[in-house]
Amino acid sequence: MISDVEMTEATNIKSNLHLVSQQIEALALQYQREAKNVRLLAVSKTKPISALKAAYDAGQRAFGENYAQEAADKHLALSHLTDIEWHFIGPIQSNKSRLIAETMDWVHSVDREKIARRLNEQRSSNLPPLNVCIQINISGEQSKSGILLSELDSMVDLVASLPNLQLRGLMAIPAPQDSHETQCAIYQPLAQAYLELAKSDSMIDTLSIGMSGDLSAAIQSGSTMVRVGTAIFGERDYS
Ligand SMILES: *Cc1c(COP(=O)(O)O)cnc(C)c1O
């Protein structure tokens, strides 16, 4: 039996997912993009299994997690739902890379050579290659994560040399800005670097930018995957 609280939670999540999808469609139209080229990643960090299940039942398949142990636990708890796509989007400690390599389908936060090498070694060759985005520290970055754009070429070459990783694109987490224009200006060099990279390699199809607060600037700047937590699952209690 599911409780009344879980029932209300499920109804809210379903309607929020619908609203966010509508918002993405409207923004895509506004900026002359195809809505199908802007995927929605549901960021479920700190949220209970019941919340993920509710989103799944509403049709959501791609989920983003930030903490390796929590991600691995959720992966195990929902392993019967074999069409879920698991994305790791948080900072990676080297002692947690194995959990990530063994359970995730994507990692958006690769920003160190050592981590790329460990993920490659720890990814079983029985599994499909781990899809990887390189995290870039663009100006206004909230944390110290991410490489500089000037370091991108050597990181791309490294990832390309690792057989159990498949490079898919770039990711960034800029600090929220007051205006749409400033947010777009901050995204501009990243968007440019992404387009150049995508030109050189047909497997590169992912620019992972945009969160609940800056969907509009991210979609205008060419985002192909927005990572939305709060607008789907509500405020988080911690982090
Ligand atoms: C938490 C988080 C998100 C989602 O943020 P919201 O503001 O809740 O939409 C997106 N990306 C990363 C890397 C995050 O850590």
Domain boundaries, the chain: 4-233
Which atom of ligand 1 has the smallest separation from the CA of 230? 8
Q: How many helices (H) and strands (E) does the chain have?
A: 9, 8
195 DSSP β-pair partners: none
- pLDDT for res 14: 97
Question: For the whole model, what pTM was predicted?
Answer: 0.96
User: Ligand 1 centroid vs 227 CA: distance in angstroms?
Assistant: 6
Is the distance from the beta carbon of residue 230 to the nearest atom of ligand 1 less than 6 Å? Answer: yes
User: Ligand 1 centroid vs 231 CA: distance in angstroms?
Assistant: 10
Is the distance from the beta carbon of residue 216 to the nearest atom of ligand 1 less than 6 Å? Answer: no
Three-class SS state of 207: strand
Give the right CATH number for 4-233 from 3.40.50.2300, 3.40.190.10, 3.20.20.70, 3.20.20.10. Answer: 3.20.20.10
- pLDDT for res 238: 64
Q: In the predicted model, what is the mean pLDDT of the chain?
A: 95
d(CA 185, CA 32): 19
Task: Check if the beta carbon of residue 142 is closer than 8 Å to that of residue 175.
Answer: yes
Is the distance from the beta carbon of residue 228 to the nearest atom of ligand 1 less than 6 Å? Answer: yes
User: Averaged over 72-90, what is the pLDDT?
Assistant: 98
pLDDT band with cut points at 50, 70 and 90 for residue 3:
confident
- pLDDT for res 175: 86
- Ligand 1, atom 12: nearest CA belongs to which residue? 89
